[in-house]
Amino acid sequence: MKKSIFLLLVAAVSALGGLLFGYDTGVINGAQFYLTQHFDLSDALKGWVVGSALLGCFVGAIVAGPLSIKIGRKWSLIISAILFTFSAYGSGLPELFPQSVSMLVFFRILGGLGIGIASMNAPMYIAEIAPSNIRGRMVTYYQLAIVIGFFIVFLATYYIGNNLTVAENIEFGWRRMFWSELIPSGLFLILLFFVPKSPRWLALKGKDEEALKVLKQINEDEVAEKEMIQIKNSLNKKNDGIKVRYYSKAILVIIAIGTVLSMLQQFTGINAVLYYGADIFEKALGFGKEDVLAQQILLAFVNLIFTFVAMFTVDKFGRKPLLYIGSIGMIVGFLLLGVTLQQQNVGMLSLIGVLIFIASFALSMGPVVWVLLSEMFPNKIRSVAMSVAVAAQWAANYVVSQSFPMVMGSETNNSAPWNGSLPYFIFITFILVIVFVTYKFIPETKGKSLEEIEGFWK
């Protein structure tokens, strides 16, 4: 019982990195309306302030690999927590400091660096410390935390904004919205000092006794000793069919498969729906701009419920079955939305299509991709490989976020036969690619130790 409670606490603390991921990316959505008026931002500057964190996310994911190898997963997460804290405080600097758009962008990029580092290290840390039979569920805590982070920051910004006048929100309310992140970031920073280092990283650094001690904290002694032998064998070059030559064909193939899967998570169109879904809801249910609360609650609720479903089925059904089921659901959802748009008959079916898509993504590509990325790479290349895959995911996020409104506004999309549906059929094409990649290249990792999974690539 003590071991399971200890493991749960470790996963909960590291998953706070996911909560801050969701919180930090979501807080700008609540604050941007008021800070735009405070600084009198042009459309271009508004886009730069809102999107600047993505630059930090990309760079953070790139540096996360070598940083994780050098100082370990735990201390990398501590650095990300420090960056989150500085970003939250700096983004809401009070009037007595010379706050400017440039300073705000600087602190938003700092927050992005924190997200990038945490988005690589948090799921990897959980995977490296969790027993194989519950590893999938433990890693899905990370995705669950992201969803909860979005929901909490939405409630926090709504509460702050709703208790101030419009003038007060423009003057200082948006600063309080940023400062609200200090609570979870401070908690994350403090609790990280009480979690152990990753046993795989300790073994990688030759600290076998310390690694075994950590393994015994979460497993029975015999199981821990057996797992330690497997870890050492995987790190032994003489017994390992894969050398650490990142330019070699074997390594490049593994990294390429993980990177493609990571990018495909964004090419499903999830962020296009989350970022630009208000118009769909407005047309389907007659919501006005003042009803953003109801729209986001509906999306957040569906996202949250089906993330829970994934959490309790990923170790029972396996990774690949969830990807197949989720892909079929995403295709059905976008077909409903796309066809109703084509026929210019947007209504309840359109809304159902969006919700089916969100539910299917939350059941599959949302959490399962993080699970697979955290466990599919061999021990010796995991940090660098996952860093590349996560950085590519942030780049794909940027591409989709920037290109979606351009495709939506194009003459081709807004004329027959598409009538506004073209982007969703493009996303369907990418989802079909997911099915192919999953079938052809992705191993089923359910119930296998990280070292057993490594054997798949030999």
Listed residues 135, 163, 195: the one ending a domain: 195
Distance CA 179, CA 27 (A): 10
Kind and range of the H or E run holding 297 = helix 292-317
295 with 359, same domain: the answer is yes
286: left (phi over 0), alpha (psi -120 to 50) or beta: left
Q: How many domains does the chain divide into? A: 3
Q: What is the pLDDT of residue 428?
A: 98
Arithmetic mean of pLDDT, 224-238: 81
Distance CA 88, CA 79 (A): 14
Same domain, 84 and 166: yes
pLDDT tens digit string along 53-105? Answer: 888 999 999 999 999 999 999 999 999 999 999 999 998 887 555 668 888 89
Least confident of 19-23, 259-263, 389-393, 420-424: 19-23
Please name which of 263, 262, 269 lies closest in space to residue 371, comparing C-alpha atoms. 262
* Long-range CB contacts (within 8 A, 24+) of 67-72: 67/117, 68/120, 68/121, 68/124, 68/201, 68/383, 68/387, 69/204, 69/383, 69/384, 72/197, 72/198, 72/201, 72/202, 72/205
SS3 content of the chain, % helix, strand, coil (to 5): 80, 0, 20
What pLDDT score does 76 carry? 95
Per-residue pLDDT tens for 159-201? 888 888 888 888 888 899 999 999 999 999 998 998 899 999 9
Buried b (16+ CB within 10 A) or exposed e, 35-73: bbebbebeeeebebbbbbbbbbbbbbbbbbbebbbeebb
pLDDT at 19 over 70: yes
Query: DSSP assignment of 81-125, as one string?
Result: HHHHHHHHHHHT--TTS---HHHHHHHHHHHHHHHHHHHHHHHHH
Question: What six digits make up the tokens of 427?
Answer: 């996303």
Q: Distance between CA 57 and CA 24 in Å, rounded?
A: 11
Percent of the chain with pLDDT over 70: 90
Do 191 and 211 lie in a common domain? no
Residues 432 and 366 in one domain: yes
Say yes or no to pLDDT of 242 above 50.
Answer: no
Angle at 110 (CA atoms; ends 106, 113), nearest 5 degrees: 140
66 cis-preceded (ω within 30 degrees of 0) = no
Give the integer Cα–Cα distance in Å for 254 and 457.
Answer: 8
Same-domain check for residues 160 and 263: no
Average pLDDT score over residue span 136-144: 85
What SS3 class is residue 283? helix
pLDDT confidence of residue 247: 66
At 239 the pLDDT is 44
pLDDT at 238: 45
Do 216 and 159 lie in one domain? The reply is no
As a whole number of angstroms, the distance between CA 404 and CA 383 comes to 31
- What does the pLDDT read at residue 267? 97
Whether residues 167 and 316 fall in one domain: no
54 in Cβ contact with 26 (< 8 Å): no
Residue 392 C-beta-side C-alpha neighbours within 13 Å: 19
Q: Are 422 and 299 members of one domain?
A: yes
100 alpha carbon, distance to own chain's centre: 29
Same domain for 255 and 231: no
Q: Do 212 and 338 fall into the same domain?
A: no
**Inter-axis angle of helices 319-342 and 292-317, nearest 10:** 150
pLDDT attached to residue 134 = 82
Q: Which residue has the higher pLDDT, 429 or 294?
A: 429
pLDDT attached to residue 274: 73
Please check whether residues 217 and 265 belong to one and the same domain: no
Backbone phi, psi, residue 315, to 5°: -90, -10
Query: In this structure, what CATH number is given to the domain that contains residue 47?
Result: 1.20.1250.20
Are 17 and 83 contacting, i.e. CB atoms less than 8 angstroms apart?
Answer: no
pLDDT in tens, 308-367: 999 999 999 999 999 999 999 999 999 999 999 899 888 888 889 999 999 999 999 999
Residue 12 has pLDDT above 50, yes or no: yes
Contact status, residue 35 vs residue 161, Cβ threshold 8 Å: no
User: Rg of the Cα trace of the chain?
Assistant: 22
Distances (CA, A) of 445 to 6, 123, 217: 24, 15, 24
pLDDT at 240 over 50: no
Which residue range is the domain that position 36 belongs to? 1-195
- Mean pLDDT of all residues in the chain? 86
Segment 430-452, tens digit of pLDDT = 999 999 999 999 999 898 888 88
Q: Which of 25, 28, 184 is nearest to 112 (CA)?
A: 25
Residues 374-391: tens digit of each pLDDT: 999 988 888 889 999 999
Backbone angles phi, psi at 245, to 5 degrees: -125, 100
pLDDT at 310: 94
- Which residue reads 């019982």 in tokens? 1
Are 42 and 6 members of one domain?
Answer: yes
- Residue 116 and residue 108: Cα distance in Å, rounded? 12
Predicted pLDDT at 329: 98
pTM above 0.85, yes or no: no
Q: Two tokens at 104?
A: 């705000």
Q: What angle do CA 59, 65, 66 make, to 5 degrees?
A: 100
What is the length of the chain? 458
Tokens of 385: 């490989």
pLDDT score of 273 more than 90: no
Find the mean pLDDT for residues 112-122.
92
Percent of the chain with pLDDT over 90: 43
- Annotate 364-375 with b (16+ C-beta within 10 A) or e (fewer): bbbbbbbbbbbb
Do the beta carbons of residue 23 and residue 181 sit within 8 Å?
yes
